[in-house]
Chain A
Amino acid sequence: MGVKVIIPTPLRQYADKNASVVVEGKTVDEVMQNLTALHGELKRHLYGEDGKLRRFVNIYRNEEDIRYLEKENTPVKDNDVLNIVPSIAGGNIHFGNEAVLPGIPGRK
Chain B
Amino acid sequence: MATSIHQKELERIRQHGAQTYPHECCGILLGKAEDWNKTILDILPMNNARKDSPQNRYMILPEDLIASDREARKRGLDVIGFYHSHPDHPAQPSEFDREHAWPWFAYIIVAVGKGVPRDLTAWLLSADRAQFVPEELQVTENGN
Q: Do A and B come from one complex?
A: yes
Partner of B90, one of A10, A44, A106: A106
A53 contacts chain B at the CB level, 8 A cutoff: no
Residues of B with C-beta under 8 A to A91: 24, 50, 53, 56-58, 84, 94, 96-97
B101 contacts chain A at the CB level, 8 A cutoff: yes
A89 contacts chain B at the CB level, 8 A cutoff: yes
Query: Is A10 within 8 A of B82, CB to CB?
Result: no
A-facing residues in B82-135 (Cβ within 8 Å):
82, 84, 86-97, 100-105, 107, 111-114, 118-119, 128-129
Query: Is A86 within 8 A of B111, CB to CB?
Result: no
| Contact A101 B111, CB 8 Å, known A88-B82, A90-B57, A92-B86 | yes
State the interface size on chain B (CB cutoff 8 A). Answer: 47
Query: Is A89 within 8 A of B113, CB to CB?
Result: no
A100 contacts chain B at the CB level, 8 A cutoff: yes
Residues of B with C-beta under 8 A to A94: 89, 92, 94-95
Residues of B with C-beta under 8 A to A60: 62, 66
A-B interface, 7 closest residue pairs, ranked by CB to CB distance from nearest: A101-B113, A10-B104, A91-B57, A90-B97, A105-B90, A92-B86, A88-B60
Task: List, sorted by A's number, 27 A–B pairs whose CB atoms are closer than 8 Å.
Answer: A9-B80, A13-B104, A44-B128, A56-B102, A60-B62, A65-B62, A85-B65, A86-B65, A87-B62, A88-B82, A88-B100, A89-B58, A89-B100, A90-B84, A90-B101, A91-B58, A91-B84, A92-B56, A92-B89, A93-B56, A95-B94, A98-B90, A100-B90, A101-B89, A101-B90, A101-B112, A101-B118
